[in-house]
Amino acid sequence: MRHNRTVMVAANWKMNLKVGEASRFMHRLEEKIAIRQNVECVLAPNFLALQPISVNLDRRKFRLASQDGFYNDFGAYTGEVSMAMLHDIVHYSIIGHSDRRHKFNESDDVLAKKVQAAIRNDIIPILCVGETLQERLANETHHVLHRQLSSDTLNITSREMSVMVIAYEPVWAIGTGKTPTPEEAQEAMAFIRKQIKDLHGDRAAKYARILYGGSVKPDNARTFMELKDCDGVLVGGASLDSDQFASIHNTAYKIAQMKDL
């Protein structure tokens, strides 16, 4: 039987690459990445680079995501870019990345509004959740994941939830080279799927995709993508190296073939 959750490999370029550099990098990736029906490859450039990249993008290979998006559609919100403005340009929007939660103090209240705004504008949220090191050491991981998932997906229907993507990103693993053990990662992702089931029902839990993120590299990508509840990876640092990212994409293709059997 065909696996219903297409494997996703997403590149979060964060605040890197100027407009010209981002376009050149995208073309370099394009040369290294093959068209794979059963792998969805998502690029998240900065806001400025999104538009020019969207014009030249090979849509057989890539889809675009924004790294954020404001919850009101238009108005006096100087400096913001709304989901309404992103509607024609991106398929996905990363919401609640740990940079946003911890460096910009975005609350679950704000993130719930962003999730709703994305859906209202036909953009699929890639909602990031995950505990800090302090929270993990205090045995609060489940509590944190429950709080983030229940607050941030407030007022989302089961149908909407079933197309959403949740990225499990332990904050202590982001950009640090440290990673959870496969058992720890699987345990957290299984807990996330159980939360989705409790909050939004069986169907949502069956179809929503869960990604792992945090120091994903070519040599550990397989370990995470093989896990039962893992449907792909969200990659930061290694997504800025075209060889590394292409290698992770290739691993995803092998995993997709394996899971489809």
In the complex, minimum distance from the CB of residue 144 to ligand PGA, in angstroms, rounded to a whole number: 17
Asked whether 168 and 192 are in contact (CB, 8 A), the reply is yes
User: Which amino acid, one-letter code, is at 115?
Assistant: V
Q: Which of 125, 218, 236, 259 binds ligand PGA (CB under 6 A)?
A: 236
Rule CB under 6 A: is residue 174 a binding residue for ligand PGA?
Answer: yes
Asked whether 256 and 3 are in contact (CB, 8 A), the reply is yes
Rule CB under 6 A: is residue 8 a binding residue for ligand PGA?
Answer: no
**Pairwise CA distance, residues 220 & 194, whole Å:** 25
Q: Is the dihedral of CA 20, 43, 240, 249 positive or negative?
A: negative
Rule CB under 6 A: is residue 237 a binding residue for ligand PGA?
Answer: yes
Q: What is the DSSP letter of 79?
A: T
Rule CB under 6 A: is residue 214 a binding residue for ligand PGA?
Answer: yes
Closer by beta carbon to ligand PGA, 200 or else 209? 209
Asked whether 142 and 131 are in contact (CB, 8 A), the reply is no
| Residue 213 parent element (H or E) | strand 209-213
Q: Stretches 68-76, 158-166, 184-192, 233-241: which one binds ligand PGA (CB under 6 A)?
A: 233-241
Helices (H), the chain: 19-32, 47-56, 83-86, 98, 108-120, 133-137, 141-152, 158-163, 182-200, 202-207, 221-225, 242-260
Q: Which of 86, 126, 234, 248 binds ligand PGA (CB under 6 A)?
A: 234
Active site residue 97: yes
Catalytic hit among 97, 146, 200, 249: 97
**Pairwise CA distance, residues 189 & 79, whole Å:** 35
Q: Stretches 22-30, 63-71, 169-177, 222-230: which one binds ligand PGA (CB under 6 A)?
A: 169-177
Count of residues in contact with ligand PGA, rule CB under 6 A? 13
In the complex, minimum distance from the CB of residue 37 to ligand PGA, in angstroms, rounded to a whole number: 25
Asked whether 229 and 187 are in contact (CB, 8 A), the reply is no
Task: Give CA 160 to chain center in angstroms.
Answer: 16
Residue of minimal CB distance from ligand PGA? 236
Q: Give the residue from 216, 163, 202, 253 showing the smallest Cα distance to 224.
A: 216
In the complex, minimum distance from the CB of residue 201 to ligand PGA, in angstroms, rounded to a whole number: 28
Q: Stretches 54-62, 111-119, 198-206, 230-238: which one binds ligand PGA (CB under 6 A)?
A: 230-238
Q: Which of 9, 11, 12, 156 binds ligand PGA (CB under 6 A)?
A: 12
Rule CB under 6 A: is residue 215 a binding residue for ligand PGA?
Answer: yes
Closer by beta carbon to ligand PGA, 204 or else 214? 214
Catalytic positions, written as ranges: 97, 169
Contact positions toward ligand PGA, by CB under 6 A? Answer: 12, 169, 174-175, 213-216, 234-238
